[in-house]
Amino acid sequence: MSGSPPSRARDVVLVFAATLAIITYIDRVCISKSADLMMTDLSLTRSRWLRVLGVWLAYALFEIPAGWLATRSARASCSCAW
């Protein structure tokens, strides 16, 4: 090791991830509170609204496996030792 001080990249990434988590939480709360108005404005029935929400559920369920597979494939293709 060269003895240089560690970068602050880890701190920046953690703050960024925490900020995104807060924003997505606020987004979910806002959508749930305004669901009736959005359904009226978009002329959606209750069953179609549930389909729209199902898309978000599918996205959330596949986010973690997709990230895990991406890191696995990146490590497998790298010739360096992890």
pLDDT bin (cut points 50, 70, 90) of residue 75 is low
pTM metric for this prediction: 0.50
> Mean pLDDT throughout 6-26?
88
- Would you say residue 2 has pLDDT above 70? no
Residues contacting residue 35 through CB under 8 Å, at least 6 positions apart: 49
For residue range 27-65, what is the model confidence (pLDDT) as tens digits?
Answer: 888 888 898 999 999 999 999 998 888 887 777 788 778
Residues contacting residue 49 through CB under 8 Å, at least 6 positions apart: 35, 38, 39
